[in-house]
Chain A
Amino acid sequence: MPTALMDLPEKEYILPGTRTCAGCGLPIAYRHILKALGPKTIVTLPACCLTILHGMYPKTPVLVNAVNNVFGGTAASASGLAAGLKALGKEDYVVLAMAGDGGTFDMGIQALSGAAERQTNFIYVCYDNEAYMNTGVQRSSATPSGAITTTTPVHPKEQPKKDFIQIMEAHHPAYLATTCSSYPMDLYDKFSKARHIQGTRFIHLAVPCPAGWGFPTRETVKIGRLAVETGVIVLYEVEDGIFRLTGKSLNLAKTRRKRPVEDYVKTQARFRKMTPEQMEAFQKAVDERWEGFLARAGI
């Protein structure tokens, strides 16, 4: 049963005054993640945009315990937190590992794969803004083809985005979900559910980035919604091997009113050099993936 907006906990775990860029999608998501997980959360985070949100010593706007760790070590750090808490009998804490796409798809994959294979008891969130945004918009393996970044400045990235969610599903986590910062209730429900599951839980969180993607800061929520409405981002969850579309994606599947990806692409400066051929290939890839999801969902 989806949570109603009026039933969201009033308690805030992020105080006003974070250091994120204007229009960043991350604080919207993080605010609701922490509402869902509550005060007994320990978050571990590497070098990433979330580090910026957490502020600088000696001040932090975040009201849960946090541990900062090395770039490639988020899941190892979370494994250590989980093991230490278990050894000390502090079983009522929630261990939340949270890293960007660079710290997950690229450098963090070893530690995450290892921890997931061990079925470590933690929630791992990859918040995906599709490039190394914290260091100035360099290409990552999560960057979609056709996007301009500061390391693909003249010729847009040629290779498609790494299908990392599928890699994680191959680890058979206890719970796997995708969500987007533009749908806070969808993500609140998924984290609320993940909190009460034991074992490795992996959540992919799509986060629009106005600075890196090139759109006005007031349009963050709209861009995230366009990503879902065009099928570029699909909201779903896999629990006990059972696949379910959720929220807006379920609605689109039922109504068959998925929009063309061009509606999404044209809103962002990073795609300004996309050729018609690339656009066509992008649409084709999105459609194929979407059909696959419809088949899995039996719709």
Chain B
Amino acid sequence: MATKILTGNQTAALAAKLCRVQVIAAYPITPQSKIPEELSEYVERGELQAEFVRVESEHSAMGVCISASLVGARAFTATAANGLAYMHEQLHWAAGARVPIVMPVTNRGLGAPWTILNDMQDSIAQRDTGWMQFYCLNNQEILDQVILAYKVAERLLVPVMVCFDGFRLSHTMMPVEVPDQEAVDAFLPPFTPAYHLDPERPVNINPVVLTDPIPGADGRLYPGYMGIRRRLQATLESALPVIAEEGRAFGERFGRSYEDPIFRYRTEDADILFVTMGSLGSEASEACDVLRDQGIKAGVASLRVFRPFPKRAIRDLLATQARLAVVEKAISYGLEGALATEIKAALYGLNGRQPITAGYIVGLGGKDVKPLDLCEIARQTLSFGSHEEVPEHSIWFSNEI
């Protein structure tokens, strides 16, 4: 174990190296570019034994990862923003093919209009592709969650996006505790796929399926399209205990537990909780300290795991609170932030124990979110006397025109 000062992108690349990825598909996009750059150095210097495929697009990057994974190689790529959007078709294909790819997403706003700066519209827009989505508070979590993601992905055969804020983490240096290679090897054994290509027993992977179950040549009944879709959902429904178990095992080995899908800060006695994701969780923690100095009991619940959605943990934590400020860097246009919708949905049906919940859209396209802004959000949320006083749609928190 050694402490290094690293940017988020350097951390993600180092994590991939520690995971001994075997095939890397690389296409550059700001603010992710440093990840493939670092990895290409590792490979060319012989520090990492991997096939480095310099693809011509993100669509192809994911295509390479899917097929490499299907023949049994541990596959890796990273992307952001429009690159992620360009992959969209392949994201469905990866989840449907049940390949355990891990992909850092360096969160960036989606054009048009253009921005290279941070928000989470890119990954939130890929919420329904069947991938798991982890979000990182800081660079240490990037390292840890990439390693954890491979462990979970290969156990469940579901791909994982490890999302972290562009520039705010990707280009910011922080101290990161880097475990020894041997320790990572002990935690994450080599990828052994559920099936391997065997000329004696050839298979046709991802073929056309019919709607209804159909008997195979062996007389067994095989699922139709819906049955296969249901199996993916069933896996994701049962994924949180696996994530918790591996997160606990990670903690036992490396000293930082990820058993809890929610990062909690001063939640026990809080009158108001910030509910958020990513580096905003760290910002909100700062705001909490300020607010508590001013006599306002604030806390933070920051989701590390967004898919599968930790509904039960959210209920257990949030239903006892009086006020929630759901603060997020993405919006589902025409309604509100997706996180706000999902938090409210998780609390539905708790016999009137729903806290007053206000949604806030902040930080789009790199807009700075200061702790004092979050303090103001807390005070505004506390001012709502009833559910009826909360605006119908998320509140845009910004001094912009």
Contact = CB atoms under 8 A, between A and B. Distances in A.
Interface of A: 39-40, 42, 44, 51-52, 54-60, 62-70, 72-73, 75-81, 83-88, 90, 93, 110-111, 113-115, 117-118
5 contacts: A60-B207, A66-B203, A72-B59, A84-B22, A84-B23
B137 interface: no
Given A65-B197, A84-B75, A110-B57, 18 more contacts: A54-B204, A56-B207, A57-B204, A57-B207, A57-B222, A58-B217, A65-B198, A66-B202, A69-B63, A70-B90, A70-B93, A76-B59, A80-B53, A81-B71, A84-B69, A90-B197, A110-B59, A111-B60
A70 B89 contact: yes
Contacts of B202: 39, 62-66
Nearest to B73: A84
Nearest to A87: B22
Contact of A87 (B23, B56, B206, B217): B23
Given A58-B216, A85-B71, A113-B56, A68 B23 contact: no
A222 B255 CA distance: 73
A75 B23 CA distance: 16
Contacts of A79: 53, 55, 60, 63-64, 67
Contacts of A77: 63-64, 66-67
A283 to B, nearest CB: 38
B205 A84 contact: no
B207 A54 contact: yes
B24 to A, nearest CB: 9
Contact of B208 (A57, A85, A87, A88): A57
Interface of A is mostly: mixed
A84 B208 contact: no
Interface of B is mostly: mixed
A167 B54 CA distance: 21
Given A39-B199, A84-B67, A113-B56, A68 B206 contact: yes
Contact of A67 (B62, B72, B206, B210): B206
B335 interface: no
B214 interface: yes
Nearest to A19: B208
Contacts of A54: 204, 207-208
Contacts of A80: 23, 25, 53, 63-71, 75
Contacts of B70: 67, 80-81, 84
B164 to A, nearest CB: 25
B73 to A, nearest CB: 4
A114 B57 contact: yes
Contact of A64 (B63, B71, B199, B206): B199
A76 B63 contact: yes
A70 B64 CA distance: 12
Contact of A81 (B49, B68, B210): B68
Contacts of A64: 199, 202
Interface in B139-170: none
Interface in B286-313: none
B230 to A, nearest CB: 15
- B63, B203, B216 pick with most chain A CB within 10 angstroms: B63
Nearest to B206: A68
A133 B244 CA distance: 49
A46 to B, nearest CB: 10
Nearest to B60: A76
Contacts of A40: 199
Given A42-B71, A80-B68, A57 B209 contact: yes
A69 B199 contact: no
B60 A110 contact: yes
- B90, B199, B222 pick with most chain A CB within 10 angstroms: B199
B205 to A, nearest CB: 5
B38 interface: no
A83 B63 contact: no
B204 A66 contact: yes
A64 B204 CA distance: 8
B220 to A, nearest CB: 8
